Every structure is written in C-alpha cells, then in structure tokens.
Structure 1
Amino acid sequence: MSIAKKYELTEEGTLFIRYDSNGLYACTLYQIRALRDFGNVKAGDLGGFIEKEENLSHEGDCWVYDNAQVYNDAVVRGDALVYDNALVYYKARIYGNAKVSGNARVYDDAVVYDNAHIHGNAYVYDSAEVSDNADICGNARVYGSAWIEDNALIHGNAQVYLNAVIGGDARVYGDAQVYGSSYVNGNARIYGRACIYFGAHVHGNALVYGNARVYGATEISGDAEVAGNVHIYGVQKICSGKHFGDDAEVDVSASTQRDAQQIRQ
C-alpha cells in the first residue's frame, strides 16, 4: 500500500552553495508545501527547504519549518522537527520526537533521536549520537563518536568528543571538555575549563571545574570536588573531599587510600 504524500516541492528552487572543509557543494533547494493536515501543519502551509523528497519522510508528523534546510543524503523521519535556521546535511539522521532548531547544525553521520533537542548554535557531527531527553545548546560541540543520552545537558562552549559518553542528569558546560572514551553520568557537573579524558569516569554528585584535569582510569564520584589547576590521574577512586590545587598533580594510583590526598591552595 502506497503512502499518501503529505507535502510537495514548490516549482521554483533556489540555488544553494556552501563552502566547508569538504569543499564546494551546490544544489537546488525547494521549499515544501503541505498537501494535507498532520500534526500542527495544515494543508497549504509552506515549510522549510529540502533538496529532494528522500530528505523528509511522508510518514509520521516530521516536518521542516521556517528557514531550516535539509539536504545531501540527510533524513528526517518519524515525528522529528527541524525549524528556525537549523541545517541538517550530509548523512545525518533525525527521527523519533527529536528537534533541531535555532542556528544548530547536525551533519556528517550524526544521529539525533528520541526526545533529544539540538538548538542554539550547537553543532553535532562526525558519528556523534544524541538520544533520550538529552539537550545540546549554546555553542556546544559534540562530535567524534561521542554519545549524549538520558537527561544530559551540554551547553556553553563545552565540547564532547572522541567516544566520550555523557548520561544520567550530568551537565557539561562553560569551556569544559570531555573526550577520549571518558564517561560522565549521575548528577556530575563538569564546567569552567575542566577536562575529563583518557577513560576517566565522573559520576554521583561530583564536581570538576576550574582548570582541573582528570584522566586515565581515575573515578571521581560521591560528593568529591576537584578544582583549581590540579591534575588527577591513576587507577583508584576519589569519592569525597575537596581536591584543590595550584599546578599540583595527584597520582592516585600511588595511593593505598580510597580518597586521594587532599591538596589545598
């Protein structure tokens, strides 16, 4: 049984040219016009712009609004919405009840689904995946096979990349970076210019901020607080206390205690 089309391409297309790291890309974008009522869309409504019908499914309530653009081999399906000035391109996929809005960009092989929302000036690209109720906004960048899930929030100028996973109710913001197969979840907060990398795990109610660096197999959890310019690395766990420092380094693999030595400025 064939699916009744819910939109058509307007007759006159607009030449679109984009320059980026992959060089020049030129195509014709067509504004879409609804053929029937669905979701919040009424027959005759004009939508955003797509390159071809393969970009936007005729099934579900998915739609492209405003000045948003979907092109290359990108696909929007299910009940997903793309609106404002958002761009979705290359082989990106947006589905479920996901939303992409503002000046956000989702591209390459990135996937956004469930109830995830990408907005503001955020970029999600490479093979990054954003799911559940995750929220990416501000000037955040998520890329390099990173996965943002659950109720995680990435905002400000934060960057999450290289196979890092952010989940639970975790927040990463400011100029913080999480990368290199690290995992942040629970109610953890990573902010300031803090960096979590090379397999570190931060969870519970832990706070990592300032210029702190946490890396290696270190696990920060509980109510632990790591800040200042301290560097913490190694294979043991820190689950309490305040660990502040000025260009200090703590190799917790050398400690026999559960909590690393407390360092104060």
Structure 2
Amino acid sequence: MRKYEFTGETQNIECTGKVITLHRIRAARDFMGVKKEELGGWIETEDNLSHSENAWVSGNAWVFGDARVSGDAQVFGDTRVSGKVWVFGDARVFGNARVSGDTRVSGNAWVFGDAQVLGDAQVLGDARVFGDAQVLGNAWVSGDARVSGDAQVSGNAWVPGNARVYDIRHVFTAGPIGSRNSFVTFFRDKDCGISVKCGCFSGKLGEFLERVRKTHGDSKYAHEYILIAESAKACIDLTAEKPEEEGGSE
C-alpha cells in the first residue's frame, strides 16, 4: 500500500547545470508517528523514497537524483541528499547536512548540523557526524565513533567505535603500507589517547605496535609501521576540547 502521494506543489532547483523539479509529498496513511495527510519534504521521483517500511522525508529536506531513503530511515530539516546516496536502516540525516555522491548512511547512524558526507564514504553503526565535519572519499565512520567540529575524515581512513575526532588534527591516515599494501588510520579516541584501525586490527597504539613487532619482527614492514606511528604521534593533537554536544536532537 502506498504511504505517500504528491501534493501537486513543486519547486525547480538547479544542480550541476541542470534544472530538477522537486515534488512535495504528503502521507497517504498513518505509519510510525506520521499521520495521514501530514506534509512531508521534497523528492524528485518515487524512486527516492520507499513506499514500504517507515522511511520518511519531512520538513524542507530534499532527496533527488538517484538517492534513496528506505527502511526506517528519516531525512528532515534542511538536509540535501543527492547523487547515488542510500540512507537506510534506522539512520537519521537532519539539520543542514549535505550527503551526496555514492555514500551510505545506515544502521543507527546520524549525520546532522552542517556536516557533509561525500564521495564513496560510509557512516554506519551508531556513529555520529555533526558540526562542520566532513567525511570524504572512501572513508568509513563506524561503531560509536563521533566526528564533529572542523574534523575531516577522508581518503581511505576508517574511524571506528571509540573515536572522538573533533579537529582536523585528530586523525592521521597513511598507506599503502606493510605486506598487504593496506591503509592505517590513527585517531584520537574517547580516552584522549591514540587508537589505530588497520585491516582487522582495532585498538590502542601500544597494542598495535606490539602486534607489529610480533607479526613482523625486525623486518622492513615493521620499520614502516613504527615510523608511521611516530609521525602520527607527532601530528595528532590530543589537547583540543570536545564539543559541548555529541548527540543532537530530532
């Protein structure tokens, strides 16, 4: 059963030199806190918002291009979601957030404030990306990670569970490195220390170096990892204070 309909109200926007017509939606039935006849946000086509489950676009949010919102995901506020983005699960995108490219926002993840998630990035789990933070390229933010302030997580960085990245100097990524030509991410953690994500390893810097010595001994690869770790220690700023809010409100 269809859960929304077009109201007949439209607006034209310009994106990459092309004029796109957005359509205002209205709930056609009651579902998950949304009442029949309640006005929603703006979508380009019905492909942008699933009729199944409880996903919803509301407020002045725009979802267009090949972007999709499904599952129990919510997109609201003045958010702009475009490109080939997929917002699903119980994810929330709100405020003035901008999400575009081929990104994924899933699980219980929230993207809000003036945050941007672009490229092929993924925000998943219980992660929160907010403030003026940017997640770009092939970067992942997962678990219980918090990325905010003017932080930028980019390239092949992976910022997992215990990350507390509030500043551009809170994360350091290097690679290809080691016997598998992998990428390693060093980041400020919730204990105001440095933690590491490299392949299947995720843990404190000291644990990482111990694993390196155990696995690689005195080899060239061990020296690579140790040198990069020293650079990360020199570059990551552990003094910056955390933002006042880590949550946001719906």
TM-score interval for Structure 1 and Structure 2 normalised by the shorter chain: 0.7 to 0.9
Aligned match of 1:8: 5
The amino acid of 1:236's aligned partner reads I
Q: How does 1:56-205 map to 2 (within 5 A)?
A: 56-176=49-169, 177-180=171-174, 181-184=183-186, 187=190, 189=192, 203-204=203-204
Report the CA distance between 1:190 and its aligned residue: 7.5
The amino acid of 1:183's aligned partner reads T
1:87–1:103 contact (8 Å) kept in structure 2: yes
Give the whole-Å Cα distance in 2 for the aligned partners of 1:72 and 1:110. Answer: 13
2:91–2:108 contact (8 Å) kept in structure 1: yes
Report the CA distance between 1:14 and its aligned residue: 1.1
Give the whole-Å Cα distance in 2 for the aligned partners of 1:82 and 1:116. Answer: 12
Higher relative contact order (CA 8 A, sep 6+): 2
Report the CA distance between 1:170 and its aligned residue: 1.1
1:80–1:95 contact (8 Å) kept in structure 2: yes
Change (3 A) 1:54 1:220: farther
Structure 1's unaligned 5+ residue stretches are 207-217, 222-232, 246-265
Q: How many residues align?
A: 208
Change (3 A) 1:161 1:45: same
Report the CA distance between 1:189 and its aligned residue: 4.3
User: Normalising to structure 2: TM-score of the pair?
Assistant: 0.74
Q: Deviations over 1:221-242 (max 9, x none)?
A: 9xxxxxxxxxxx9433999xxx
1:219–1:237 contact (8 Å) kept in structure 2: no
Report the CA distance between 1:60 and its aligned residue: 0.9
Same amino acid, percent of matched pairs: 37
Give the whole-Å Cα distance in 1 for the aligned partners of 2:29 and 2:83. Answer: 28
The amino acid of 1:139's aligned partner reads D
Change (3 A) 1:6 1:188: same
Question: For 1:235, what is the secondary structure of its paired residue?
Answer: helix
Change (3 A) 1:7 1:51: same
Structure 2's unaligned 5+ residue stretches are 175-182, 212-222, 236-250
Give the whole-Å Cα distance in 1 for the aligned partners of 2:234 and 2:94. Answer: 39
Change (3 A) 1:220 1:80: farther
Q: Deviations over 1:33-72 (max 9, x none)?
A: 0000001100000000000100000011100010000000
The amino acid of 1:29's aligned partner reads L
Change (3 A) 1:184 1:97: farther
The reply to whether residue 236 of structure 1 matches residue 233 of structure 2 is: no
Structure 1 segments, 4+ long, off by >2 Å, are 175-191, 196-199, 201-206, 218-221, 233-239
Report the CA distance between 1:220 and its aligned residue: 9.7
Change (3 A) 1:197 1:168: closer
Aligned match of 2:248: none
What RMSD, in angstroms, separates the aligned Cα atoms of the two structures?
A: 3.1
Give the whole-Å Cα distance in 1 for the aligned partners of 2:154 and 2:172. Answer: 7
More helix by share: 2
Give the whole-Å Cα distance in 1 for the aligned partners of 2:234 and 2:59. Answer: 48
The amino acid of 2:51's aligned partner reads H
2:152–2:167 contact (8 Å) kept in structure 1: no
User: Normalising to structure 1: TM-score of the pair?
Assistant: 0.70
Change (3 A) 1:168 1:10: same
Report the CA distance between 1:12 and its aligned residue: 2.9
Change (3 A) 1:8 1:167: same
Give the whole-Å Cα distance in 1 for the aligned partners of 2:30 and 2:4. Answer: 10
Structure of higher CA gyration radius: 1
